[in-house]
Structures are given as structure tokens and as C-alpha cells.
Structure 1
Amino acid sequence: MGKAALAGIGLGLATSTLAFGTASVKRNKKVGIIGLDTSHSVAFAKAFNASDAAPDLGGYKVVAAYPHGSKDIKTSVERIPGYIEDVKKLGVEIVDSIASLLDIVDVVLLETNDGRLHLEQALEVFKSGKTVFIDKPIAASLPDAIAIFDAAKKYNVPVFSSSSLRYMENAVAVRNGEIGEVYGADAFSPAKYEATHPDLFWYGIHGVETLYGLMGAGCKTVQRTYTEGADVVVGTWEGGKIGTFRGTRTGKSGYGGRAFGEKGILDMGGYGGYRPLLVEIAKFFDSGKSPISDEETIEIFAFMQAADESKKMNGQAVSLEAVLAKGKREALKIKI
């Protein structure tokens, strides 16, 4: 056998060993969940822990969960006992504190449904140095959202937050340039009320994140009006580009949108589930780099806050820059 053939075999063996070694390392990465008060916790654990989980989920396994969780949102609190049993069946250990969780995991999914608890819980994770994905809403106020990213920088910990709606197949296609430059977009989703959270933060964030997934950051002003059965928020971006969000309040509603670009118009189609987001989370856990900038996520919350301000002002336009500036001033008062 010639030297070239031997070299080829050696290269193949080296590649196989590298691939096997990488897979082994990933399989040893243990995921912890904070909060068993949302269906996301069970769905994510099922996906990561499936015996036939695809390689693009990184080989991560959920090994432990701290169940709490919302304290006073009835619909969330009532889920916890059932979800504890659901994840136990997946081999997940239930622990009695976040500190206990952090002792036995490598990375964290902060899934608590109540955004008011996220800053407090995230700080505990940040201080441990563990990489963390924070589910929507990243916080229940704009200042808290800003403080979370400030704290992540302070403790030098990677953090990523997103709705799964950002990763609808056609939304990704738009971001990848399928219709060229985007001139405008419409997005819609349910916008259920929850008294403990600012209006759009609880559920409207899904549609707002869809809109930002199409338009990107850079909104300048926001106006909000109410039409029969829905709140409509109109954002004006640089160059006069218009993006709208319709949050439906009554009846059954799905998720979706439409983007208008230089090469055509593309409908978002149906919602494709959690898997595309989970693939991004696995990549994030591997790299420690969020696929979305901190600034864009913060702007999403400023957009929703500005929408609330506009509602109070009977639909007058509100400057996003002013809302952000106020949020940053208030965030400075938060101890991190």
C-alpha cells in the first residue's frame, strides 16, 4: 500500500477520532432547567433527552431541574406538580434550589414563566459562570431586561434569549436574503393579557420578535391603536420603512407574518415548532456566542414599552430612543 493511501487512512482515523471525541464531550454536557411552570420545560427536555436526538441538538442532556417557578400566576403555578412528574419520567432529577442545580450542570435553561423572577434567578446563574438561555420574556420590565445584559457582561457569562417564532423557516429565509433588502413587514400573534406583566410582554412578544426577525433593529418611533379584537402597533424604521404587529385579543389566532422586499413578498407560513430554536440553543451552548445581539433583544422590549406609552397617549408616536434612555437610567438603580 502506498504512502498516500496510508496517509488517507490515517487522516480518516484522525477525523473519526476527532468526531467521536467531540461527540463524547458534548454528550457529557449536562443541562439544568430552572422553572417547571411552562410547557417549554417539558418539551425542551423531551427533545434534548430523546434517545434518537439528532446530532444538531449537540448531544446535550437535561439532568436536573429546579421547579420554581411562578409564585402567584395561577395558571403557571398549577402546572408545576404535573410537569415535575413529566420530567422525572425523562430521567431528570428534581432539586430544591438553584444552587443545588448549578452544582451538577454545565449549562442552564432558565424557563421560569414569570419574567419578574428572571433577574434574580439569572444573577445566581451568572455568579456561577454558567452559560444560560433565558426564555421569553427575558424580563417583566425594560430596566430589568437591560440589567440582565449588564450583569451578564459584569460576570462575563454568555446569555441568549429568543422566542421560537424568530426561527420560522421563511423568517430565516428572509434574513438570509431570499427577498433582498426588506422594505417592510407585518407580523401577528395572540396577545393574551397577564396582569403581572406589561401588556405585550407576556404573549405579544412572540409576534413582536417575529417582526424584529424580519426587520432587524433600528426602529425609531412606535404608535399603537386598537381595532376590533386586536391591538395594532406600527413601528417606523430608518428610511421610513414600516413594520407592524397585530396582537389578537379575541378568538383563535395563529402566528405568522409577511415580509416585503426588493425581490418580492414572502409569507411566513405556519409555525414550525420548537426544534429550530433548540438547534440554535445547542449552537449557543457550544460557542458561547448569542445569535442575536444584546442590543436587538433590548430594543424589542423598548418597542413593547413604547407601545404601552403610545396606548396611554391615545396612539401618539413615541420615540424609541427616549424610552431606551429612560430604561437605561432606571437600570442603573438596580443592584447587580
Structure 2
Amino acid sequence: MIGLDTSHAVAFTEILNAKNNTGDLAGVRVTAAFPGGSSDLPASRDRVEGYTAKIRDMGVEIVPSIDELLKRVDAVMLESVDGRPHLEQVRPVIAARKPVFVDKPFAGSLRDCCAIARLAADARVPIFSSSSLRFGSGFQAARRGESPAGEVKGCHAWSPCSLEPHHPDLFWYGIHGVEVLYTVMGPGCTSVTRTNSAGADVVVGLWKDGRIGVFHGIRDGKATYGALVFGTKDVAPAGNYEGYRPLVVEIARFFKSGRPPVAMEETLELYAFMEAADESKRQGGKPVAVADVLAQAEQEAQALLGKQ
């Protein structure tokens, strides 16, 4: 495990290292960890010491570097709460050809998301990234068209959406609701329009088949997670937050099989959706093409990797 500055590191370790795990969780344990941490980010700096102590108390070996970690493990969970160092932290993991799960945010910029995806693809290293919300049973049922709403014709998803100045607006916490939106709708968004205020964001996406998906990010008032699905049979809620266990089960299954449960193309598109939302805000709420934003980021990633 890389990055002990998030509650996810403690929660995931508790699940994986529980006694008598069965099924997909059997035989997958956190055995070594590198604390990491970002000195300019209070959410990291102020928590890494305490979380590291908790994980050490669970019998996990704490190591001084990623290189030392890679000598001791078969696969890696990159948990650093700060997305900015993810590219540099994942490079040696990919070079060592270890399967890797990258927790949200996938990276600190869309450019870095594309760079990580390119490095992993070129090395043929299995990789995926996801919010825990994706694997809630109700959201998964909606994706399959098995919710009370039937086949999905549209979706309104919501989540808390606190901001962090070092990251694009929705990368930090809005990712949870955007992940729900994409879980239900699937990929295929062509353009994004954003309305922003101090207390909320509303991002409207137009899909290529004419469907419309909406993300509502909440900063003022009660902030919960959820989705309303507009379908062929009904307009109905779909799913709730079910904790970390469904995601951890998917991670364990992925480490054993080498098959990512989320296509990288979908992950890159949903991050492009969020970056397009920022661009729409910069342009006063004008529609922004997701493909244009993604193409620009891929060019920047190629240039970045070409210089290194």
C-alpha cells in the first residue's frame, strides 16, 4: 500500500486483514506500506502520522520507500489522498509490473490521468481506479437495466462536493457523484455545461444517444449520495452508499484475475467530464466538448512523457 494519509488506508486494511476472510477476499492481505504524504496539503500532512500508527498496529510492515515496498508485495493499492503525486508514485509500480489499484482522485490533473493510463497500457500492467460508490448494488443494478426504472434513459446523481485548491473542482470529492452518474449511464457523454455557486454545482451532460445525465454537487445543506434514474418503466431512486467493502472485494478479485472491473476508457472519460465542467465554468457556463478536453490532455501527456 502506498499512501497512509487517508481513512481509506485504514478501512481497506481492516477489511483485507480480517481473520477468516472467505471468497474473493481470502488470501489477499496488506503486508507492507509506504506512508507518503504531502506537506502542503493539510488533509494529508495532519493525518499521515496517526493513520500510519494505526496500520502498523495491525501488523503491517512500514517501509521507507516505494522501492522497498515493491520488493515485498505482489500488487499495490495507491491510496495517497493527494492526486498530484500519483503519476510519480505509480511509475515504479508499473515498471515492476505489479497490478495496481489507484484510489480517487486518479491523479491531480487530466493530463496526469492520461499519462498514467498510457504508461500502464504500454507496459501491459493491469490497472483501475474507482470511487467506492460505483460498486453499490443499486447503482450496478441500474447499469444493467435491472432497477425498478428499467432501461436507463437519464440520471440525476448527487454527492458532497467540497473543493481543494490543488485539484480540479470535482476531482476532490465530486468524483463520488460523477462516478455514480457514469456507473448508471455508462460512457458516451459528448458535451458538458456547468452552473456554479458557492453552495452547489450542477453539471449537465449530453450523451451521444440523446440521453441527459446530471451531477449535482452539494456544499451547502445536507450532503448525501444517491441517484434518481429516469427509465423505460419508472422514475426511481437507485442505490445508496454501501461502505468500502464492495470496492475492496472488487480490488481483491482484480488482483487475483488481472482483469480490471472498470474500463480505462470509461475512467478517462469521466475525468474528462469533470475537467470539461471546469472549462465550462471558466467560459461562463458554455457547453464544452468532452472529446476536445480529452484530446488536449492526451497531447499534453504525450509531451510530458516524451520529455522524461
TM-score (norm 1): 0.88
Tell me how far apart the structure 2 counterparts of residues 117 and 57 of structure 1 sit (CA, whole Å).
28
1:281 corresponds, among 251, 261, 264, to 251
Shift of 1:228: 7.0
1:90 aligns with 2:63: no
Q: Structure 1 counterpart of 2:223, which letter?
A: S
Counterpart for residue 245 of structure 1 = 215
* Pairing 1:136-155 to 2, within 5 Å after superposition: 136-155=104-123
Shift of 1:262: 1.4
Q: Structure 2 counterpart of 1:56, which letter?
A: D
* Pairing 1:5-20 to 2, within 5 Å after superposition: none
Q: Contact between 1:168 and 1:268, CA under 8 Å: does it hold in 2?
A: no
* Pairing 1:32-43 to 2, within 5 Å after superposition: 33-43=1-11
The number of equivalent residue pairs is 304
Larger of the two Rg values belongs to structure: 1
1:123 aligns with 2:91: yes
Higher mean alpha-carbon deviation, 106-115 vs 69-78, is at 69-78
List alignment gaps of at least 5 residues for structure 1: 1-32
Tell me how far apart the structure 1 counterparts of residues 27 and 158 of structure 2 sit (CA, whole Å).
34
* Pairing 1:171-250 to 2, within 5 Å after superposition: 171-178=139-146, 179-226=149-196, 229-250=199-220
Q: Equivalent residue of 1:332, what SS?
A: helix
Tell me how far apart the structure 2 counterparts of residues 64 and 330 of structure 1 sit (CA, whole Å).
34
Shift of 1:325: 1.3
Tell me how far apart the structure 2 counterparts of residues 251 and 124 of structure 1 sit (CA, whole Å).
42
Shift of 1:89: 1.5
Q: Structure 1 counterpart of 2:190, which letter?
A: K
Counterpart for residue 242 of structure 2 = 272
Q: Contact between 1:220 and 1:237, CA under 8 Å: does it hold in 2?
A: yes
List alignment gaps of at least 5 residues for structure 2: none
1:105 aligns with 2:73: yes
Q: Structure 1 counterpart of 2:155, which letter?
A: A
Greater than 6 Å deviation, 4+ residue runs: none
- CA deviations over 1:84-136 (Å, ceiling 9, x no partner): 11111211010000000000100100001110000001111000111000000
Tell me how far apart the structure 2 counterparts of residues 38 and 70 of structure 1 sit (CA, whole Å).
11
Q: Contact between 1:37 and 1:68, CA under 8 Å: does it hold in 2?
A: yes
Identity of aligned residues (%): 53
Q: Equivalent residue of 1:68, what SS?
A: coil
Shift of 1:71: 2.8
Tell me how far apart the structure 2 counterparts of residues 146 and 232 of structure 1 sit (CA, whole Å).
25
Greater helix percent: which structure?
1
Tell me how far apart the structure 2 counterparts of residues 204 and 228 of structure 1 sit (CA, whole Å).
14
1:156 aligns with 2:128: no
- CA deviations over 1:149-172 (Å, ceiling 9, x no partner): 100012221001000011112101
TM-score (norm 2): 0.96
Tell me how far apart the structure 2 counterparts of residues 71 and 300 of structure 1 sit (CA, whole Å).
28
Q: Contact between 1:37 and 1:80, CA under 8 Å: does it hold in 2?
A: yes
Tell me how far apart the structure 2 counterparts of residues 173 and 266 of structure 1 sit (CA, whole Å).
12
Tell me how far apart the structure 1 counterparts of residues 274 and 77 of structure 2 sit (CA, whole Å).
24
- CA deviations over 1:171-225 (Å, ceiling 9, x no partner): 0111222144210001101111101111111111111010000001000110000
Q: Structure 2 counterpart of 1:192, which letter?
A: S
* Pairing 1:292-307 to 2, within 5 Å after superposition: 292-307=262-277
